[in-house]
Amino acid sequence: MENIKDLRLSVSKTKTFLDCKAKYKFNYIEKLPKKDWDFHILGKFCHKVLEDFHNAYINNVSLKPYNIEMGIAYKAALAEYGDKMTPEMKKECWDIIDKYLQIVSKDKKNNLPANVIACEKPFELAVADKVILNGMIDRVQIDADNVIHVCDYKTLKIKNSYKATSFNYLHMLM
């Protein structure tokens, strides 16, 4: 177990521990280097595109049409991750964000734009004495009906491995 004042847990850290104690030790205690798998790079790329896209509209920073801003975000992510991606991965991300953009644009036309108030928002929550749940929220939004939604993007190809909810929004688009 970690020798620290408080036990800090995240969903991925807890899942790793439950799946394989050795993997947990190598990843979180010894902090051994990890291979960048294609699906990790694709996920990081898609996250970066959507983070930059939404951040451009938070606090009305951008007045550009959605498709223009999404193109700018895609190009910025490409500059950061493009050398690590195959042409197929670039196309796959483009297809995902194109579907996402179609949904966002449709909602705006119906006067139901989501008010995204945060992207990649860190959180900490004390769940017990000396136990803290922490992580990152991909997107927090307040919809036109004043309901707050916490969204977690997933880019899984195995459709039955996650229940389709707003917590894995990109998964539903694949």
- Return the structure tokens found at 10: 């995240």
- Angle at CA of residue 112, ends 108 and 114, nearest 5°: 85
Residue 6 is part of which domain span? 1-34
Residues 97 and 146 in one domain: yes
Which residues make beta-bridge pairs with 7?
A: 131
Residues 160 and 136 in one domain: yes
Residues 6 and 88 in one domain: no
87-109 and 38-57 helices, crossing angle to 10°:
30
d(CA 32, CA 42): 22
| Number of domains within the chain | 2
What sign does the CA torsion over 64, 65, 68, 71 have?
A: positive
Please list the pLDDT of the chain residue by residue as tens digits (174 residues). 445 577 788 878 888 888 899 998 998 889 988 877 788 888 889 999 999 999 998 867 778 888 899 999 999 999 999 899 999 999 999 998 898 888 777 666 554 456 888 988 898 888 888 888 888 888 888 877 788 888 887 644 444 333 444 334 444 443
